[in-house]
C-alpha cells in the first residue's frame, strides 16, 4: 500500500518532500483538503506549514500566530484520527508534530521567543542547533544521544499540556520539544525539517529509514 502525505499546498515545498521520500523509494499519494477520506494506506505523513488554529485547542489567538488554514487543519485532524482508528503509523514534521499534539488533546506554545528561545529562519536560512535525544527511544536507536538539526518554526508543543499517549524524546538546549513518540499509539514526529537537510545527513536519512521501519511494522506482510 502507498503512504498518504498531506499536501503543504505549496508546490515548491511539496517537491522537496517528494524528493525526500523518493530518495528511499517510498510510494505515496498526496491528499488535500476537501477530498474524500482516502482508501487504506500504509502510513500517514503530515508535513510542515502554517500555524494550527488555536481555537482547535481552546486557546486565544496570539498576535503572532499566522498562516492559519482552517480547512487544512480540519483535513489533517481527520486524517490522523482515521490513521489511528486503522492502526496505521502517523509521522509528523514541524507543523505535523503540532497537529498530532492537538489531535491528542495537547496545546501549543504560540510564539517561542516568549518562551526564551528562537528557532525561526535567519536571513532566509533555517537555524541550526543540536538536540538531546532520550535514551532508549526509537529515535536514539538511529541518531544516538545528540544530533544536529535545523529549525524554521515559531510554535512548539507545550510540554505542560502534552497530548495523550505522547512521550517527549528530544529537546533543544533550551528545552523546546523537538521530537515525540507514541506510547500505545503508532506515532513518531519531529520539529525539524529533514526534507530540507543534505540527503546524507543522519537527522534526514536515518529518520526516514526509521519512518520506513515503523511503517513496515504497522503493515506486516
Q: What is the pLDDT of residues 99-122, one digit of tens each?
A: 999 999 999 999 887 766 666 666
- Eight-class DSSP state of 126: -
Residue tagged active-site, from 119, 153, 154, 193: 193
Characterize the bridge pairing of strands 177-182 and 187-190.
antiparallel
pTM of the model: 0.95
Say whether 195 is catalytic. yes
Say whether 181 is catalytic. no
Question: Within 13 Å and on the Cβ side, how many CA atoms surround 185?
Answer: 23
Characterize the bridge pairing of strands 44-46 and 187-190.
unpaired
Residue tagged active-site, from 76, 178, 181, 195: 195
Percent with pLDDT over 90 in the chain: 85
- How much is the pLDDT for 116? 65
- What integer is the mean pLDDT of 193-204? 94
Residue 168, judged by CB atoms within 10 A of its CB (0-12, 13-18, 19+), counts as middle
| C-alpha cell, 7 | 499536501
Average pLDDT along the chain? 93
- pLDDT of residue 137 exceeding 90, the answer is yes
Q: How far is CA 95 from CA 120, 146, 200, 213, in A?
A: 13, 22, 23, 22
- How much is the pLDDT for 14? 98
Sign of the Cα torsion 142, 189, 151, 146 reads negative
Yes or no: say if 146 and 131 are a contact pair by the CB < 8 Å rule.
yes
- pLDDT of residue 50 exceeding 50, the answer is yes
Q: By three-state DSSP, how is residue 184 classified?
A: coil
- How much is the pLDDT for 16? 97
- pLDDT of residue 169 exceeding 80, the answer is yes
Residue tagged active-site, from 94, 153, 154, 181: 94
- How much is the pLDDT for 91? 98
Q: Which tens digit of pLDDT belongs to each residue from 20-46? A: 999 999 999 999 999 998 999 999 999
- pLDDT of residue 154 exceeding 90, the answer is no
Amino acid at each position: 500500500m502507498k503512504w498518504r502525505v498531506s499536501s503543504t499546498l505549496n508546490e515548491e515545498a511539496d517537491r522537496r518532500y517528494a524528493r525526500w521520500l523518493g530518495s528511499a523509494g517510498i510510494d505515496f499519494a498526496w491528499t488535500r483538503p476537501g477530498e474524500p477520506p482516502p482508501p487504506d494506506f500504509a502510513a500517514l505523513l503530515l508535513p510542515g506549514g502554517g500555524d494550527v488554529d488555536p481555537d482547535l485547542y481552546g486557546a486565544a489567538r496570539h498576535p503572532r500566530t499566522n498562516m492559519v488554514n482552517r480547512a487544512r487543519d480540519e483535513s489533517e485532524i481527520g486524517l490522523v484520527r482515521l490513521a489511528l482508528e486503522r492502526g496505521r503509523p502517523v509521522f509528523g514534521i514541524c507543523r505535523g508534530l503540532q497537529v498530532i499534539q492537538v489531535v491528542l488533546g495537547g496545546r501549543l506554545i504560540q510564539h517561542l521567543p516568549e518562551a526564551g528561545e528562537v528557532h525561526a529562519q535567519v536571513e532566509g536560512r533555517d537555524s541550526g542547533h543540536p538536540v538531546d535525544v532520550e535514551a532508549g527511544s526509537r529515535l536514539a536507536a538511529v541518531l544516538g544521544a545528540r544530533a544536529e538539526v535545523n529549525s524554521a518554526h515559531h510554535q512548539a508543543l507545550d510540554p505542560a499540556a502534552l497530548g495523550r499517549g505522547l512521550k517527549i524524546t528530544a529537546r533543544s538546549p533550551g528545552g523546546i520539544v523537538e521530537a515525540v513518540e507514541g506510547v500505545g499509539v503508532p506515532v513518531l514526529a519531529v520539529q525539524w525539517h529533514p526534507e530540507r537537510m543534505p540527503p546524507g545527513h543522519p537527522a534526514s536519512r536515518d529518520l526516514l529509514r526509521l519512518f520506513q521501519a515503523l511503517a513496515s511494522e504497522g503493515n506486516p506482510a
